[in-house]
Amino acid sequence: MSSVDYSPDTNSSSNSSTTATSVGVTLVIFIVIGVISCCFARKVKQCIVTELRNAVASSASNVAHSSAPYAVPVWEIDQPTMEKFIKEMAEQRAIRFTAHQLYYFTGNYSTPLGAGGFGTVYKGEFPNGVKIAVKVLKRNSDKQAEEQFMNEVGTIGKTYHINLVRLNGFCYDQYMCALVFEYMENRSLDKYLFGKSEELDWRKLQDVAIGTAKGLAYLHEECQQKVIHYDIKPANILLDENFTPKVGDFGLAKLCNRDSTHMSLTGYRGTPGYSAPEFLLKNYPITHKCDVYSFGMVLFEIVGRKRNGGVTDSGNPDWFPQHVWEAHEKGELVEFVRRCGYAEDDKEGVIRMCEVALWCIQDCPDKRPPMSAVVKMLEGFVEIVPPSKPFLYLDPTPKRNSRGSNLQQTSSSSDYSTSNEDSASYWYKKTTPIMKKYEIQIESS
């Protein structure tokens, strides 16, 4: 009888172990391949989306600049990453944008905000939701757009103040010359002074005047280089969503050294009705005091809530600043303010603004107060010295001021030079009657 062998089958066990190992390795390989495929598919999808976006941007640019025979790669600027964008915004630095970016920010320039000789302003929005205003400058043969571009970037681009419009960035290439500003929700002051549909109460107008004065004081007295605006008027005083005033439009502005007493300019600057008389008189140099004069004219329009120049029903010239001076000279300013329709509670502030305005528009630049003194006078913390008569430049007969100096002489021989602006006692007293009364009470107690 043959014996039966019950020993384990080693070959079968080995084959089973090998099969299990193969299956495991295969599964691992498939899993790795799957993970790699998912990652690759995701990256391919991102590349496709990026290529589509670039293609749309390229086609939009070609449509916008179809008149250009070819594009120059040197003008192409790499789009910054969002991290770099946010960082530069946080550092308050003006960013150089591409034409493609401005196209997207403005929705193909679909919402114009206004237009003028300089160009057109469009409403836009950054990817993070911040609203902007894009000023696209018109290019012409006389290079005015390039000059305005350099003035804006070279002046306001170097400053930052709550009462100055913020320059967020710019674009300049062979196709486009544009400036990107913060968006001002309530547009400009002239809409509320000269328009019939919207008005601001007196308290808000006071705040607008003081804020504008602070912005100009910063430009004249606090910047590393003095900035002269040359075109202060209600249309260039912009209001944000809280009606905080911000001086804008620095297309005519100039930088000068802090120790410079005047600027050498050729030609007329500014807007008629706001420009200082020294632009028409050869015996006075052009200084930052021309901005003070323009601001004084703005104060008159705030008080009157109308344009300074007009005509009467009989057709005669009607100049509001002249009426204010005549009322002040006769001691009837209180009654004049009442006739303008102001309430009793607002009377004191209106009279103060009239007196400040009369100081700001003095014909001799040196007799106008610096903007820092204007701020103090408007805020009501000092007692304003009664202003002297302005408009002497309109009189063809030479006049003399209170110190006897001939007003037809140059301001270099004036008794009140710009180098002595810190001596503010000429325009105001450093203690108000209220403060004096308080001091008397303390001494007697």
Known binding residues for ATP are 135
Looking up tokens 């970037």 gives 153
The helix (run of H) or strand (run of E) holding residue 64 is helix 10-64
17 phi and psi angles, rounded to 5 deg: -65, -40
C-alpha to C-alpha distance for 359 and 286, rounded to whole angstroms = 18
Residue type, 95: I
Burial tier of 408 (Cβ tally within 10 Å: 0-12, 13-18, 19+): middle
The single residue listed with the structure tokens 């080693």 is: 10
3-class secondary-structure state, position 292: helix
Euclidean distance between CA atoms 163 and 226, whole angstroms: 16
Residues 357 and 296 sit within 8 Å (Cβ to Cβ): yes
* DSSP bridge partners of 137: 119
Give 406-419 as a DSSP string.
BTTS-GGG-SS-GG
Q: Which residues contact 353 (CB under 8 A, 6 or more apart)?
A: 206, 209, 299, 302, 303, 378
CA distances from 102 to 106, 154, 158, 177, 220 (A): 6, 21, 22, 11, 33
Determine which helix (DSSP H) or strand (DSSP E) holds 168, and give its type and residue range.
strand 167-172
Beta strands per DSSP E along 24-139:
95-96, 112-115, 119-125, 131-137
Catalytic residue set: 231
Note whether 133 and 113 are within 8 A (CB).
yes
Q: What are 206's two structure tokens?
A: 């006071």
Which of 330, 418, 328 lies closest to 366 in space, CA to CA? 418
Distance CA 260, CA 257 (A): 5
d(CA 366, CA 287): 9
Cα dihedral 103→104→107→113 (10° resolution): -60
